[in-house]
Amino acid sequence: MPAPSDPAPFSPDSSKDPQPPIAVAAPVPVQSNAAPPSDGNLAASADQPAPADKPASAGQLATPSPSPSPSDATSRRPLKKTNPPATPHGFWFRRRAVPVPTWRLTICALLTLAALALIVGKNVHPWLAVSSPVPDAKFIAVEGWAPDYVLSATVNLAEESQATRVFTTGIPLERGSFLMSYKTYADVAANVLAKLGLDPQRICPVPCADIKSERTRAMATALKAVLDHEPVPDTGRRLNLVTLGTHARRSHAIFKDVFGPDWQIGVISIPSVTYDADEWWKASEGAKNVMNELSGLMLLSLGKN
């Protein structure tokens, strides 16, 4: 069979009509049944060279490669760290993160506080009720508000030390002054000492003015004024202060401050009989005395007592 001859090229001078163009069908996409590569296969395929495109055979149209879906690109994109939403601030308060101790730390703190409370409770009363007498002191001063058993102990101390003078200090009576001839605690204590057997010639009451605060300092100042008018040699300026229980440390500090370095001031504390000093916290009187004296020493350290 003879081969068909090629069509003659179109020429504008050709007398024949031009042939219409041949219609070409649109390419049909070829669906592939192969599963999309997983994340693990992506890394392995990245190291292998891409296969060369094979030339399309005659009559077969080349199919475009499928583009990656947006979901695959999102899964391979690193996640961004998102901050929690900001907490709005109020007008008076604002929220902040506060560290809270664990139960282990709480137990350790409670045990430490209990140990400190036990140590302080056992030692605070002896520390307040201090006794530090000056040897060979010929002067004794007793606070007139002290109970009778303190005055009785003062008589014994005066006889043992052979004190030449026993001074009683005190403010005006706050109750019962209209029923008796004595108007101050100093006068009451002086007469009690005489009733207990002390020679009245050795007793010297030293009353002071009625004041509402710093009474111990006022009594010490009045006694210092009396001793300044007596011819006391420098070697004889020794005085022992007798007081009740926990009041000893504060009274001693005040008397030393008032008398100055020219005098040697000692203190003798007579234990209270209203409570057990070893278990002072079990009695209201003992707890009140300790708390009052601690607060008084604090004010004294601040210069307010």
Quote the tokens at residue 300: 């004294």
**Cα end-to-end distance, the chain, whole Å:** 141
Least confident residue range of 109-113, 177-181, 184-188, 248-252: 177-181
Note the pLDDT of residue 170.
93
Phi, psi for residue 131 in degrees, rounded to 5? -130, 115
For 119-175, write each residue's pLDDT tens digit.
888 899 999 999 999 999 999 999 999 999 999 999 999 999 999 999 999 999 888
With CA atoms as reference, report the closest residue to 216 among 256, 262, 170: 170
All residues at 6 or more sequence positions from 98 whose CB lies less than 8 Å from its CB, including other chains:
none
d(CA 96, CA 224): 61
- According to DSSP, residue 273 is labeled S
For 200-246, write each residue's pLDDT tens digit.
999 999 999 888 888 899 999 999 999 999 888 888 899 999 999 99
Note the pLDDT of residue 251.
96
For 54-82, write each residue's pLDDT tens digit.
554 544 555 555 555 555 555 566 666 66
Residue bearing the bigger pLDDT, 91 or 270: 270
Residue bearing the bigger pLDDT, 259 or 302: 259
**Proportion of the chain above pLDDT 70, given as a percent:** 69
Angle between helix 248-259 and helix 284-301 axes, rounded to 10 deg? 30
Task: Compute the average pLDDT of residues 7-13.
Answer: 49
Residue 172 forms beta bridges with which residues?
184
Residue 140 forms beta bridges with which residues?
166, 240
- For 46, 144, 184, 303, the CA distances from 208, given in Å and listed in that order, are 106, 11, 8, 21
For 156-167, write each residue's pLDDT tens digit.
999 999 999 999
Quote the tokens at residue 284: 């209201």
Note the pLDDT of residue 174.
82
Mean pLDDT score across all residues of the chain: 80
d(CA 275, CA 270): 13
Which amino acid belongs to residue 119?
I
Environment class of 194 (CB within 10 Å of its CB; exposed 0-12, middle 13-18, buried 19+) = middle
Least confident residue range of 13-17, 119-123, 161-165, 276-280: 13-17
- According to DSSP, residue 269 is labeled E
Task: Compute the average pLDDT of residues 17-35.
Answer: 52
Q: Which domains does the chain have, with CATH numbers?
A: 125-301 (3.40.50.620)
Q: Taking 70 as the threshold, does the pLDDT of residue 49 lie above it?
A: no
What confidence tier does 28 reach under pLDDT thresholds 50, 70, 90?
low
Task: Compute the average pLDDT of residues 262-281.
Answer: 93
Inter-residue contact 246 to 293 (CB < 8 Å): yes
d(CA 303, CA 300): 5
What confidence tier does 42 reach under pLDDT thresholds 50, 70, 90?
very low
All residues at 6 or more sequence positions from 155 whose CB lies less than 8 Å from its CB, including other chains:
193, 196, 197, 198
Note the pLDDT of residue 68.
56
Note the pLDDT of residue 128.
95
Note the pLDDT of residue 26.
54
d(CA 246, CA 288): 10
Note the pLDDT of residue 72.
55
Note the pLDDT of residue 22.
55
Inter-residue contact 186 to 207 (CB < 8 Å): yes
